[in-house]
Amino acid sequence: MARHESSRWKLSYGWLRGEDWWGDPVSNNFSLIDLLLHPFVETMNETAPPIIPTIGLSYIIGANATGDWTGKDNNLAVYTEFGWLFCEPLVRGIRVGSAAPAGWFFWDGEQWTDEKNVVPDPPPLQGQRYDVIFSVGYDAEPLETIGGVALPQDMTLRADGVDCVGRCKTAPPFPVDIGIMRNYDDQIGTIHFIPGSIEATFTIDGDKAFARGQTISFDMPVLLPDFWRNYGATLRLILMGD
Q: Which CATH number covers residue 190? A: 2.60.120
Task: Give pLDDT, residue 34.
Answer: 86
Low-confidence ranges of the chain (pLDDT < 50): 124-126, 242
Q: State phi, psi for 115 to the nearest 5 degrees.
A: -60, -35
For residue 126, the model assigns a pLDDT of 47
Do 96 and 140 fall into the same domain?
A: no
Q: Would residue 172 count as lying in a domain?
A: yes
- In terms of domains, do 93 and 134 share one? no
138 and 110 both lie in a single domain = no
Q: What pLDDT does 120 receive?
A: 67
Is the model's pTM score more than 0.75? no
Q: Which domain holds residue 207?
A: 129-239
Domain shared by 168 and 65, yes or no: no
Query: 142 and 110 in one domain?
Result: no
Q: Note if the bond before 101 is cis, omega within 30 degrees.
A: yes
pLDDT of residue 43: 96
Whether residues 74 and 158 fall in one domain: no
Q: Output the CA angle 195-225-133, nearest 5 degrees.
A: 80
Q: Examine the domain organization and report whether 15 and 103 are in the same domain.
A: yes
How many folded domains does the chain comprise? Answer: 2
pLDDT of the residue at 3:
65
